[in-house]
Amino acid sequence: MNGETRDLGPGGLLEAASALLQSGYRLALVAGLDDERGLRVNYSFLAPGRDPVELRVTLDQQTRRGVSLAALSFPASRFERELFDLYGIDPVGHPQRRPLVRHAHWPEAYHPMAKGAGPAPTLHPDDGGYPFIAVEGPGVYEIPVGPVHAGLIEPGHFRFSVVGETILKMKARLWFTHKGIERLVEGKSVEEVARVAERISGDSAVAHGLAFTRAVEDALRITLAPDVEARRAVALELERLYNHVSDLGALANDVGFGLAQAKALTLRERLLRLNERVSGRRLLRGVITVGGARLLDAPTGTELDEIEARVAELTAMTLAQSIVVDRFTGTGVLSLEAVRELGVVGLVARASGLDLDARRDHPIEGVTVAPVVVATSGDVLARYQVRRDEVAASLAALRGAVAGVSTFHLAGSSGSGAGLGVVEGWRGPVVHRVELLDGRVTRLKVVDPSFLNWPALAVALADTIVPDFPLVNKSFNLSYAGNDL
């Protein structure tokens, strides 16, 4: 693996993690691993322009007592809750050991990723209800929404405590689409897992596919030719384009400006057809292969000009509508301070002023780095503008793209090792950590930016009114599938 790995005892972990966090690293991924060689937890830290650092702790497989970093990092506290549900690792000292992944229909002692957990047990009816902390006071009432929604939306349950129309507190319950992907891929070949990775979150096929293959290439120490990486970057930017354009329309639609939505949908269709020509697939699956990239054609300058003009027209028309601007401005503000404390990443973090972009921070040879778009106001308008400007930057980056197909034959099937892959998808950094044994995946840990950003949605809703929630939610546009895994 590229970068440094340190084996530590539970005592040393706290100290080392604290030093890393203070020197500008962020905790990007925590992977448990429970097998014949013991119970380990790997903490992957990332920092702009520096090599990743991995801290590894080996725990007692019997007592399963872990160490909690919750006092140092908010993301760590959620990773630890996940580890408790999936591995039964008890984060000693954790302030909130509530279940995160586990819903009430799982038997309490069943930890699916623990060694010898066996097949899924019989699930009981979810009779735990949804215990939420009740906000009490005169005129406070609760609005439960979901997990079944009126539109074509993924499942999530939201519990609003409201007085009048003002949201006092919002709690989200996710993991309705927990599919056990990390267990599913164990023992499969890297080619098979690459196909699964592309399907983790349907709108981020390239980002997840690429993060996985980069992790594999990191583990096997494969360096690719710059032109292969350039082709992969084309697919990544095309994915960003169609998703951002959809959101530019959907945000307008959520304030009732259907005309912009209609224009955005036709433009999205235009982009999907471009994807199909370029990759053979409308949602860009199959472009990224382990060690290769399969780009059948490249977007032409005329096409990019046309798309650029249409996006400019769409966004100008939307922001010329004073009601739309009024609805966007000052709605769902997420402060830079909250972004830092919660460990928010990606587009949402940049809209609040955090200058963080894996494309620039972890550069790849052969890929031109697009300028990083940052806004400061942290409201829905900022998240709209960041999308708009990233579309322009992506279009600029796509100019001069060259098509080509290259495949790579893994030298035998004896490759072993651990690797980390980081990709700036359209939502933010997608991180995969893989362990290989003789060319087979023994452990895959996936972190979609949605996992880190979901808690920020509740924070951004403070002092927002109920009818503005869908708008704020759409401006984050987080993935359920990528979060629930």
Partner 1 sequence: MSLATVVVGLVQLALVVVGGPLLLGLMRRVRSRLEGRDGPAIAQPWRDIAKLAHKQRTRPTESSWIFAAAPLVLVATAATVAALGPLISLTPPLAASTDFIAVIFVLLVGSVALALAALDTGTAFGGMGASRALTIGALVEPALLVAVLALSLPLHSTNLVAIVADGLRHASVLVGPSHLLALASFIVVILAESGRLPVDNPSTHLELTMIYEALILEYSGPDLALVTLGESMRLAIWLGLFVNLVAPAGIAANATAAGLVLGVVAVTLKVAVVGVVVAFFEVTTAKLRLFRLPELLAGGFILALLGVVTGAVMR
Note the residues at the interface with partner 1 (CB under 8 A). 141-145, 149-151, 165, 252, 254-259, 261-263, 266, 321, 323-324, 326-327, 465-471
Toward partner 1, which CB reaches closer, 153 or 372?
153
Shortest Cβ 381–partner 1 spacing (Å): 13
Q: How far is the CB of 468 from partner 1 (least distance, A)?
A: 7
Nearer to partner 1, 286 or 470 (CB): 470
**386: Cβ–Cβ under 8 A, 6 or more apart, which residues?**
347, 350, 351, 373, 374, 375
Q: How far is the CB of 478 from partner 1 (least distance, A)?
A: 16
Amino acid at 313: E
* Least distance from partner 1 to the Cβ atom of residue 456, Å: 19
Q: Toward partner 1, which CB reaches closer, 64 or 157?
A: 157
Judged on CB neighbours under 10 Å (0-12, 13-18, 19+), 64 is middle
Question: Which is nearest to 67 in space by CA: 105, 21, 10, 16?
Answer: 10
Nearer to partner 1, 61 or 321 (CB): 321
b/e per residue, 319-358, with b = 16+ CB within 10 A? Answer: beeeebeebbeebbbbeeebbeebbbbbbbbbbbbbebbb
Nearer to partner 1, 92 or 262 (CB): 262
CB < 8 Å & 24+ apart, contacts of 448-451: 448/200, 448/201, 448/204, 448/208, 448/479, 448/482, 448/483, 448/485, 449/345, 449/346, 449/425, 449/478, 449/482, 450/201, 450/478, 450/479, 450/480, 450/482, 450/483, 451/78, 451/482, 451/483
Token representation of residue 73: 């990092």
- Alpha-carbon distance values, 232 to 175, 206, 209, 211 (Å): 30, 8, 10, 11
Smallest gap from residue 153 Cβ to partner 1 (A): 9
Q: Smallest distance, Å, CB 257 to partner 1?
A: 4
CB of 422 to partner 1, least distance (A): 34
- Which residue lies nearer to partner 1 by CB, 133 or 152? 152
CB closer to partner 1, 130 vs 141: 141
